[in-house]
Structure 1
């Protein structure tokens, strides 16, 4: 895997006077939606930290009982919430300055076994070019293919899985938690990664404390069961958060680079829902607004949505918002279409 030096999370480029995005940006600024929300983040981070600590306290108290698997499920949810806090921190939604943002981000990453510098760089490149097949690491072909072009070029495991990837997508998400840990560890081999020693110490420190706690408190079989339930559900939760955002939306290739506003809006999908949806998806259900204004505090995204949607309507720019289940159906349908060339391809040795 190729990794890159961690960089500052992206902000929209300075728009030319009078551009479509410039006019929207002025509306957003005049509404005060870019203002910091310190009170909100104090409450949110405190609640998440207390629930995270409470989950581990419950793990110790329940001890050698199969009820510990219920604790594993709860901690999977808490790991996902910590990941969402790390996401907001990385985008400078919480702290204005780089130093506090990196410190808080690394602490959050250490709590869930994620390399913060590696993830921040990967996410930065995604924001700059969402759904661009050559530039967005989130749609690079790996186990899955995201377009028929990628399917035709697929080899090995990707070629095998791609034939039925729509049916395998959610089962494969059970491995996403493990993949997060492995990718974070592999990134440490890149000498250009900033603060590599610190990143490695935090990452392997997490692994050591986590595994020691499991096998100290629980008998081996129960510890393995806890690990599998916890990590698999963590992966499914992460995938359930991020899959609705861009999967199934138009992909870009080559020099296909619309202006900033259209590049972000046309490749993103919003998910309808109330406050519960906002909490469970961490505000990423307002993906269009988040991509347009990455440093906007997540509680302001709901208020920004009417302004953005109205502005897009005035420009004639398609703005997609669906229910959560519909977003999954669209994502899975897109995966099924992408894998079509692999289902129609002849088995090796039968050509001609």
Structure 2
């Protein structure tokens, strides 16, 4: 039965109320100079829950927005005000994702990025310093409250329909596909030797394995596949570090920033490709007006094929992962990544030697790179890029992302990242449910006048180059004026 039919049959229009994230004020809370003592207010969080006991300080949005500097960061979740200044350095998702939301209503951001609220709310309690004054709106005044509520209503409905429950079998089959490809490559090498034809063939098998490992680790990094999250972390390290040879911590900190503020400069690290590429509209103009010309940006849409596609994985991502892992001493990642190289030396060393095995590893990464570059960039580079505008969660994600049409091949080739809009709106949703919720997301976008972009895959590939060409033209106009 289709999801829309389930909704009609079950009469879902509201869904169950969202769980309370902040149940009590901080112990031994002292009044602040810019806050007033107030009687216990009612918490507004998709239904009203009475706050027990102790009174909370109250703040206006103007007061909250003053605290958005490094070392002094407040944010609002379900009308409760939290001081995350000292917690930021210990935040498992990295300090920058908190700084990107400082001074804002982070309710939907918080809900989108955390799956196990029972655990997370324990960390929130000591950070609670007050709540919004009764006369203050639940979101900043520039946001559309009806749009915000409609999106939260959609999320509650999807939760009631178990759209955030992962099918463990789906992901184990994905893992089995990868292991079969790896084993097949080794068996063929053992049977036929290391001739050129065999080397090319096993390189292709390993390339497919590596690309599919990229998609699987991406899912594992976002969701809890197993009931105990420890197992999920182990699986993530197994796939990302042991099967791919890259750091999970590096990926998490970088990727979560991208999800919080996609295509927002300079908060999204994925659009900071300078000085090699200039993206969007503002960055090319900025470089052009300052007469910055590190390279001939007029040709960036051409050297994208020669540099961006083949070297994204083996040079940029792999090099950055190694650098961050060793400088920040991520010891668990170092051990798992070391096992990646040890495994390859044991498996392929007898046929190719140490140097030859290293060449095989980087040949596979070189071949994988265009695949990953196209899949990861086709949904963002052609879309709107801007500086911070503090939009609501739905608008922020939809304006910066687009989908690619569904087919069995497209789903497999992209690891279901052809549903980039749904993935960005619900990062903790398992990828096998994206196609079920897509019609509901499209309807919500239509209701509020947001363009829901869905295009053929080859068009999406071409739009990357067309976007680079447009940015190059903006740079030229500013540079030569």
Tell whether 2:194 aligns with 1:64.
Answer: yes
Tell whether 2:388 aligns with 1:246.
Answer: no
Q: 1:34-45 maps to which residues of 2 (within 5 A)?
A: 34-45=164-175
Higher percent of residues as helix: 1
1:219-247 per-residue CA deviation (whole Å, 9 max, x = no partner) reads 78975764454221111111122121211
CA contact (8 A) 2:186 2:347 kept: no
Q: How far did 1:296 drift? A: 0.8
Tell whether 2:205 aligns with 1:74.
Answer: yes
Structure 2 partner of 1:184: 321
Q: 2:181 aligns with which of 51, 56, 60?
A: 51
For structure 1, the residue ranges without an aligned partner over 5 or more in a row are none
SS of 1:160's equivalent? coil
Structure 2 partner of 1:167: 302
CA contact (8 A) 2:254 2:269 kept: yes
Q: Which has the higher contact order (CA 8 A, sep 6+)?
A: 1
Q: 1:268-307 maps to which residues of 2 (within 5 A)?
A: 268-307=401-440
1:258-279 per-residue CA deviation (whole Å, 9 max, x = no partner) reads 1001101111000003112111
SS of 2:389's equivalent? coil
SS of 1:246's equivalent? coil
Q: 1:3-14 maps to which residues of 2 (within 5 A)?
A: 7-8=92-93, 12-14=109-111
Tell whether 2:152 aligns with 1:22.
Answer: yes
CA contact (8 A) 2:404 2:418 kept: yes
Q: 1:1-352 maps to which residues of 2 (within 5 A)?
A: 7-8=92-93, 12-14=109-111, 19-67=149-197, 68-109=199-240, 110-142=242-274, 143-151=276-284, 152-153=286-287, 159-160=294-295, 162-172=297-307, 173-178=309-314, 179-191=316-328, 196-210=330-344, 213-218=347-352, 226-227=360-361, 229-253=363-387, 255-343=388-476
Q: How far did 1:145 drift? A: 1.5
Q: How far did 1:5 drift? A: 7.4
- Alpha-carbon separation, structure 2, partners of 1:286 and 1:335: 23
CA contact (8 A) 1:141 1:158 kept: no
- Alpha-carbon separation, structure 2, partners of 1:38 and 1:346: 54
1:291-319 per-residue CA deviation (whole Å, 9 max, x = no partner) reads 11111111100111111111111121111
The 1:222–1:190 alpha-carbon spacing in structure 2 relative to 1, beyond 3 Å, is closer
Q: TM-score, normalised by structure 1?
A: 0.86
- Alpha-carbon separation, structure 1, partners of 2:162 and 2:353: 54
Q: TM-score, normalised by structure 2?
A: 0.64
Q: How far did 1:174 drift? A: 0.9
Higher percent of residues as strand: 2
Count of matched residue pairs? 341
Alignment RMSD: 3.0
Larger Rg: 2
CA contact (8 A) 2:383 2:402 kept: yes
Identify the range of structure 1 (155-164 vs 180-189) with the bigger mean alpha-carbon deviation: 155-164
For structure 2, the residue ranges without an aligned partner over 5 or more in a row are 1-88, 98-107, 113-137, 139-144
